[in-house]
Amino acid sequence: MSTEPPVVGAIEAGGTKFRVAIGRSHHLLADATIPTTTPAETVAASIEFLRESKHRVEAIGLASFGPLDLNPHSPSYGSITTTPKPGWSDTPLLEMVRGSFDVKVAIDTDVGGAALGERTWGAARGLESFVYLTVGTGIGGGLFAGGRTHHGLGHPEMGHVVVAQEQDDSFEGICPFHGSCIEGMASGPALRARWNHPVVDLLDRWEVWDLEARYLAQALRSITYITAPERIIIGGGVMRQQGLLQLVRTKLGVELAGYGPSELVDSDLEDYLVAPELGQDAGLFGAMVLAQQSLAT
């Protein structure tokens, strides 16, 4: 019998693009990027890629933007629910993929998938608890604890942690539900709306990133105190700004104000708040982990 890891399919479903891959362990055998248009068109193209590949997959993992219904007893399990992405609310993503293959298909949020990828092959190897947070078009977080990504009544919505408006900021936030939650104040679209410029035009403006770091530090303080993770991994397009990670560490130290575990308050937080080792591939590799795990159940 072969001792090689199984060949699996992976779909990272994003609001801008779907990344689809076939791989063994975390080695890609084939991959493609598909623009996110309509559910029917985008999902069909993803299914076609997996079907037409010369590699037969034994299972498929989905790591998707949300919100998702992840209650396995719900009739809409695996569906995208009340997303602000036009045309995608109530999309039965899991059902659409599962109905096209005679293999197991597993699903989690994009950040939950990224957390699994980082724990298996990245910056969370060996940890029992950690948070993966992404800061980009939206802000979301996945909590890994107790040997799995955490789901309760729903999945965590860390991007909707409310932050206090900084004294030198009059911006009210862009979240249509909460206004000044961290997604409404510090996501990529929030940066553009506050400063009235594309993010690419803001790279050299110190005041932009100082304010961004302060808001992120506020949210990270709440996440730290509520979940008590061993580490927070923070990625996403906004965090690629040079120097931002270190600036957020500094601001988080101020926010903690000497209160908390000595491992945090007596440190520079370089081992606590870190970049993803898998970079922009964390979600895709996490989908591969989901597929591999489904074969063991």
What the chain holds in terms of domains, given with CATH numbers, is: 7-113+280-294 (3.30.420.40), 125-276 (3.30.420.40)
> Is the pTM here over 0.85, yes or no?
yes
What's the half-sphere exposure (Cβ side, CA atoms, 13 Å) at 44? Answer: 5
Using CA atoms, how far apart are residues 154 and 258, in angstroms rounded to an integer?
33
pLDDT, one tens digit per residue, over 165-221 is 999 999 999 998 898 999 999 999 999 999 999 999 999 999 999 999 999 999 999
1, pLDDT greater than 70: no
Q: Region 253-275: what's the mean pLDDT?
A: 95
pLDDT of residue 85: 87
Check the CA dihedral 244-186-197-114 and report its sign. Answer: positive
71, pLDDT greater than 60: yes
12, pLDDT greater than 80: yes
pLDDT of residue 49: 97
Q: Region 276-284: what's the mean pLDDT?
A: 95
pLDDT of residue 125: 97
Using CA atoms, how far apart are residues 189 and 212, in angstroms rounded to an integer?
12
163: helix, coil or strand?
coil
Using CA atoms, how far apart are residues 207 and 171, in angstroms rounded to an integer?
14
What's the half-sphere exposure (Cβ side, CA atoms, 13 Å) at 210? Answer: 7
Q: Region 97-103: what's the mean pLDDT?
A: 96
Q: Region 97-125: what's the mean pLDDT?
A: 97
Instruction: Give the number of residues written for the chain.
Output: 297
pLDDT of residue 153: 86
152, pLDDT greater than 90: no
Q: How confident is the model at residue 2 (pLDDT cuts 50, 70, 90)?
A: low
Tokens coding 122: 């990245």
